[in-house]
Amino acid sequence: MPGRDPHGGAAERIRKAIALVNSVADEAGDEEITPTEIAEAIRDCLELSDVDSVPNVRRYLGESLDAVSDGMPADFVAMTLYAALGALRERSPD
């Protein structure tokens, strides 16, 4: 389909993961979000094959998963997820 973002699926999942992380960083929301839930959201991203179609996206997601495992601050996890999302954006048609 003309103009369609070929990485839309991965981008959407990364955005969801970012929203989760940001709600922790901002201490927003009624429910407490656990690191396990964030890790699960990142793993959901990694399951998509289009994360391999753009260089470094999988590696940034891997960095974010490591950061969650290592108990790094939510802002740091968000940074690596934004980097993954940005890498997809750089390779997407305008």
Partner 1 sequence: MLSGGARLVVESMPERQSTSVVLMFGAGSRLEDDRLAGVSHFIEHLYFKGTKRRPSSKEIADAIEGVGGFINASTDKELTAYWARVPSEHMELGLDVLFDIIANSKLDPADIERERIVILDELRMYQDQPQDLVQNLFEELIWPGHPLGRDIAGTEESVTRLTRDEILEYADAHYRLPNLVIGAAGMLDENATLAVVRDQLSLRADPDGALAVAEPAPLESPHVLVRRRETEQAHICLGVRAFSYTHPDRYALDLLNTVLGEGMSSRLFLNIRERLALAYDVHSFTQKHRDTGYLGVYIGVDPKKAVDAVNAAMAELRSLSESEVLPDELARAKEFTKGRLRLELETTNGVAFWLTYQELLLGEIKTIDEELALVEAVTAADMKRVAREVLNGPVQMSVIGPFARDSAFRLAVGA
**Binding interface with partner 1 (CB under 8 A):** 25, 56, 59-60, 63, 67, 72-73, 75-76, 78-80, 82-83, 85-87, 89-90
Rounded least distance, CB 61 to partner 1, Å: 11
Rounded least distance, CB 63 to partner 1, Å: 5
Of the pair 51, 67, the CB lying nearest partner 1 is at 67
Rounded least distance, CB 44 to partner 1, Å: 20
> H-type helices in the chain, by residue range?
8-25, 35-46, 57-69, 74-91
Of the pair 1, 77, the CB lying nearest partner 1 is at 77
Distance between CA atoms of 17 and 3, rounded to whole angstroms? 25
Residue 45: C-alpha distances to residues 1, 20, 35 (Å): 23, 13, 16
The set of residues, in sequence order, having a beta carbon less than 8 Å from that of 86 and lying 6+ positions away, is: none
Rounded least distance, CB 24 to partner 1, Å: 12
